[in-house]
Amino acid sequence: MPDLLLVEDDASIAAGLSAALRSQGVEVRVSSTAASALAACQDRPPQLALVDLGLPDMDGIELCRRLRRLLPHLVVVVLTARTEEVDVVVALDAGADDYLTKPVRLAELQARVRAHLRRSTPEPGARELVEIGVLRVDAAARRVTVGDVEVPLRAKEYELLARLAQDAGRAVSRETLMQDVWDAHWYGSTKTLDVHVAALRRRLAAAADGGAVPTITTLRGHGYRLEVAPPPAADNESER
């Protein structure tokens, strides 16, 4: 049974969310503080953490950072009443893989959680191993290497790169990436995609340490393309 940790200090909200998730066959543990959430993760790491940003003992953004350091592969979904784009970007940069705004629609919550848990295993028909130059994406091990260097990726960063690698050299639309990596029925902004692409570029460049590595090119008004070879200078928009 999938194991989810819900970090929510409002008992009535926690009860409603827990009931909705348990009806979908998900085991739900509830923590009302950041301290108890960290202890629960150390005791038994969950597959997914659903984190409210307004906690009594620590800002949820800081909790996201600590969870990411503690469990690099944990899927972290933020619950927030903060709707400004800058707040969402800060949460994603802090380690969140996804976000839901309050008040949360239960059907959306259930669909999003199912999608994240489903992504923890390779999609049927996906290639187990993709090699593009020095870049190697191993779906069986959920591991990415550049040459001999393993690239430390968060769950959604890995899944995004794996999806682009499946169609290396081809354009992949924003809508396709949102559907395949986050959820079949996406309701929110695609800003989370841009944040994850930016993080992927930084991590791949750091692993390459100045050497050649496949790049992610921005296709304005459409989406992204993982290059199988360095693109011509005039066509390379990856850092714009």
CATH number for the domain spanning 14: value is 3.40.50.2300
Q: Which of 53-67, 86-100, 170-184 has the highest mean pLDDT?
A: 53-67
Q: In the chain, pLDDT over 70 holds for what percent of residues?
A: 88
State how far the Cα of 126 lies from the Cα of 113, in Å rounded to an integer.
21
Range of the structural domain that residue 13 is part of? 3-118
State how far the Cα of 58 lies from the Cα of 33, in Å rounded to an integer.
8
- Residue 127: predicted pLDDT: 58
Q: Are 214 and 135 in contact (CB under 8 A)?
A: yes
Residue linked to tokens 């190697």:
136
Partners of 101 in the β-ladder: 80
> Taking the model in full, what pTM does it have?
0.63
Structural domain total, the chain: 2
**Helix 85-94 / helix 191-208 crossing angle, nearest 10 deg:** 40
Cβ contacts of residue 218 below 8 Å, gap of 6+? 197, 224, 237, 238, 240
Q: Taking the CB of residue 215, how many other CB atoms lie within 10 A of it?
A: 19
- Residue 226: predicted pLDDT: 95
The answer to the question of residue 123 being in a domain is no
Q: Do 7 and 92 belong to one domain?
A: yes
Mean pLDDT value across residues 112-127: 66
